[in-house]
Amino acid sequence: MRLSVTYRFTWRSLFSISILLGWVNLACAQGKTLFKSGDLGYACFRIPALVSLSPEVLIAFAEGRKDSCADFGDVDILMRRSEDGGRTWTYPQRVADFGALQVGNPTPVVDRTDSHYPEGRLFLFYNTGSASEQQTREGKGRRQGYFITSTDAGRHWSEPTLISDTTHYDRFHPTKNLDDRTLAYAPGHALQLYYGPHKGRLIVPANASRGPAQEEFREYRAFVLYSDDHGKQWQRSESLKTPSSNEVMAAQLPSGEVLMTVRIQNSTERRKFIARSISSGDYWDSEKRAEDLVNPVCQSSLLYVPEHQKLYHLGPNSETARENLTLWSSMDGGYGWQVVQQLNEDFAAYSDLAYLQSNALAVLYERFDYTEIYFNLITVP
């Protein structure tokens, strides 16, 4: 899809404007519903993702589900952009579709280290599906993974690039005996490394099922895809050993360690797991239950803010229901977590986080029984 525009800001000019305006726009920014069931001919919007290109420029993504809130069906990815710190937003635009089938799990990240794109290049990863998740687990469908890129804050996008042909070992891959089946990225933002020997590496959290379907989704394993050449080639990390490890998000600490928060897809686990890698995501050195991070089997978001020297985790704080959306923080590298604030007491499910400036975090999350995807700014100490 190509978008026409009559003006264009550069990243440098946008950053200069943000410095001049400072907190003016942030103070004016208000909570806003960005995607609402029934709008634009979509029965439901789900799976939010958020990325900040500068203190002023934010881009929000969501799945637009045509006929119902079901995961599989005619599903597109839509985008809205803000150039004033979340105060106003562009009209929703479709950026990816797969005909009458499924395209989902929007996973954005900005590559800020490619010398060919000194002002940054925005990646959006997503996966397609030709059958429902259960049918795919049974070997009756196929999942594939792609990315598109933009060098002008999402106004124009490249053609899709297929990456699962070398990283997803399904029955169409030369290594047929591995028998990968489902495939899903994140969802939520991806990661670029800023510390250590692999500075600049792009990391896309993911999970896949392998072999016949098992009880409690025990055939699922989480992992990451990574690229050290700005997206030209992709490799797949070691998979986690934890059965039922499913939706994941990643962050990096100044020590260079990469962390993933992991959803465990079974009927008994009510805590997040945290996986750690000192090899920039090649291998996983530990996989442990995070006793402080209560979760009712739901995606949640993870973000490290260097200016705060803190990790932040956002997700439902309940063992039984998707409700009580809560922000936690950690100052010891994710070993211990403290509640910062509760954002609501009602229904809340999938979410994403982005850092703007000073003590402002941008949040995007599902609320009101999946009928809205809501944006807001929150202040943290």
Taking 50 as the threshold, does the pLDDT of residue 28 lie above it?
A: no
pLDDT tens digits along 15-27:
333 333 333 333 3
Residue 3 lies in a domain: no
pTM: 0.92
Which residue carries 């690229």 as its tokens?
Answer: 227
- Enumerate residues 6+ apart whose C-beta is below 8 A from 2: 156, 157
Per-residue exposure over 326-341, b if at least 16 CB sit within 10 Å of its own CB, e if not: bbbbbeeebeebeebe
Residue 190 lies in a domain: yes
Tally of domains within the chain: 1
Rounded CA separation 205/239 (Å): 11
Q: Provide the pLDDT confidence category of residue 30 given band limits of 50, 70 and 90.
A: low
Residue 5 lies in a domain: no
Question: What does the pLDDT read at residue 175?
Answer: 86
Residue 6 lies in a domain: no
pLDDT tens digits along 200-224:
999 999 999 999 999 999 999 999 9
Residue 49 lies in a domain: yes
Residue 4 lies in a domain: no
Residue 1 lies in a domain: no
Domain that holds residue 114: 11-379
CATH number at residue 290: 2.120.10.10
Rounded CA separation 187/261 (Å): 12
